[in-house]
Amino acid sequence: MALLPIVQYPDPRLAQKALPVEQFDENLAKLAADMAETMYAAPGVGLAATQVGELIRMVVIDISEEKNDLKVFVNPVIESSSNDLVECEEGCLSLPGVYEKVKRPSHVKIKYQNLQGENCELECDELLSVCVQHELDHLDGIVFIDHLSMLKKQRAAAKLAKLRKEKARAAKRGETQ
């Protein structure tokens, strides 16, 4: 397995729409395993193939405390969404250090394929629902700050740039963060 570099905002690849997976082979399984390793190491609770520069429709998610409930969704589609919305604070491994509240449907039902190409369905609520919607957005070239007002989005992007500058300065001084 291998750790993959995570594409950072505003890299234009994050704004591209990913293509459907057609081949369910060992290369796909290897990418899923590498994405899972990368997600656990970050650490994060989800990762879309887009975030590792692979523009295909696959995401990995594990919201368990023990990090032993890996879910791999290939060609996922939201079949239905609840009318009620919830506001949750979200983060993103492509925008490290930026956290903002986003309103989304509280429940979603998804259809997807597993790594063997079998058709599956899953009802999602709470953190899984938020995470699924966040990761599926990545496959459509949407990052969570795209859901904010223009002003809040600009502030979030400015905060990210400031954090990066601080990190670069600290690295120059030989500090670790």
131 binds ligand K1U (CB under 6 A): yes
> Among the options 54, 135, 166, 175, which is catalytic?
135
Enter the tokens of residue 49: 């193939």
104 binds ligand K1U (CB under 6 A): no
CA dist 82 to 29, 78, 107, 111, Å? 32, 11, 5, 15
- Which is nearest to 48 in space by CA: 24, 69, 17, 27? 17
Enter the tokens of residue 161: 């740039």
Q: Identify residues 33-52 at the interface with ligand K1U (CB under 6 A).
A: 43-47, 51
Q: Identify residues 92-131 at the interface with Zn ion (CB under 5 A).
A: 92
Binding mask 1-40 for Zn ion (x = CB under 5 A): ----------------------------------------
- Find the shortest distance in angstroms from Cβ 172 to ligand K1U: 26
94 binds ligand K1U (CB under 6 A): yes
- Which is nearest to 40 in space by CA: 81, 80, 1? 1
